[in-house]
Amino acid sequence: MSTRQELKECQDAPLILTASAESFNATNDQNSSSPAVRSKSLSHWGSGCNSQKGASMSGHSVFILDVNGKPLTPCKPSKARKLLKGNQAKPVWNKFGLFGIQMLVETRKEMPTSALGIDFGTKFEGYSVVVGKENNLSVMWKLPDKKKLVKKLTERRQLRRARRWRTCRRRQCKSDNREKDGFIAPSQLMMIQSRLKAIREFFRCYPIDVVAVEDVRFNHRDNRWGKNFSTVEIGKKKLYDWIRKHAYLTFYLGVDTEALRKRYSYKKSSNKSSEIFNSHCSDALAIAIDLYAQNYIEPGQFIVIDDMYRPVRRQLHDTQPSEGGIRHPYSTGNFKGTRKGTMCNLGQICGGTDNRFYVRDWDNKRTGVAQSKIQWLSHRFKTNIQFLYWLKPVVSLDGVL
């Protein structure tokens, strides 16, 4: 399958399984040139744990979907390898960039209790899934910057007001009839949609029964210093309503989360922007454990997802006209048939010019690359897994069977 510019879709996406000690195809490890494969101590880099000190990861790291696409209990890589070899399953990938399998035959539906812990924040958030007595996945989620959207709305408002007051033929101002119930400002709605994007993907991959959320409540009447809490509080009913339709929802206060984190011996980093497990996911794992397991569980696979990029797609013309009053085309949501924000083998596509694409790396530095160097496209999230393995597949699809 290819796009209009003959760019192939991501059919042979990297089989980056998990940070477990066993790779999906262990026979290829000795011949691999990737240090991340040959060095087992680096297998869960950034998780806050060290395998050389005896920290064990979750063994059931491969998510499973049934024949209808509904999530089942995760399995070990060795089990997934046998099912693929026996033509009882097919490989799939989720938007986290992780590998899983979908069953081609019916299987039993018995599943252990599963919980999702969520620690909401203003810039960074933590998510942690516990299936049975294992932490299968923890995610640090980078929220989009709402200040950029506010700047776009301000510029649009100024241009609209300038059009209304010009001494030329124009349409009259609209009547003030656009107020409606449940209105959420666009900058806040962007944050809510980003959170829903993460939660939906967890429900697609894991059989979640209950969701534990650290409910943010701040007394804005008596205290004037907590305006950052408003970003988390606005629109939380919309999130809670969606969760209640799919699972049981329970709440924890901030003081409860701190007490549980200390009870289960998890550490908390003071650097909120640090891309480690202890920055945000330790709180999410603590409240998820308190629902069923209620014992210390070793942190499992940890990944970081950057959802900060928002393309300029609705500004059709330059704000400042050129000589002669000519307004040149500015930007659209696509470039050469490729949607902005799409992931490729070199990073995240954010536009381009002529036959060169602009690609953003993990540090959001933009570089221009030739169109011929782009090998595959994917609509998955921007994760640190792709950049951790130096943009090279750990195991090829041909090496699975």
Q: Do residues 228 and 220 touch, judged by C-beta distance below 8 A? A: no
Beta strands in 143-287 (DSSP E): 210-214, 248-252
Is residue 235 a part of any domain in this protein?
yes
Is residue 362 a part of any domain in this protein?
no
Is residue 353 a part of any domain in this protein?
no
pLDDT band at 58 (very low <50, low <70, confident <90, very high): low
What is the three-class DSSP state of 60?
Answer: coil
Provide the whole-model pTM. 0.78
For the cut 60, the answer to whether the pLDDT of residue 232 exceeds it is yes
Is residue 341 a part of any domain in this protein?
no
The DSSP code sequence of 292-354 is TT-S-----EEEEEE-------S--B-SS--TTS---B---SEETTEETT-EETTEEEEEEET
Is residue 20 a part of any domain in this protein?
no
Structural domain including 60 reads 26-145+186-307+381-399
Mean pLDDT of the chain: 79
pLDDT of residue 388: 64
Interatomic CA distance for residues 66 and 76, integer angstroms: 16
What is the rounded radius of gyration, in angstroms, for the C-alpha atoms of the chain? 23
- Strand-pair partners of 130: 115, 135
Identify the CATH number of the domain in which residue 77 sits. Answer: 3.30.420.40
pLDDT band at 56 (very low <50, low <70, confident <90, very high): very low
CA 241 to chain centre: 21
What is the three-class DSSP state of 299?
Answer: coil
- Strand-pair partners of 367: 359
For the cut 70, the answer to whether the pLDDT of residue 309 exceeds it is yes
Question: Tokens 């959001």 — which residue?
Answer: 364
Is residue 12 a part of any domain in this protein?
no
User: What is the average per-residue pLDDT within 13-35?
Assistant: 38
Q: Do residues 137 and 96 touch, judged by C-beta distance below 8 A? A: yes
Is residue 180 a part of any domain in this protein?
no
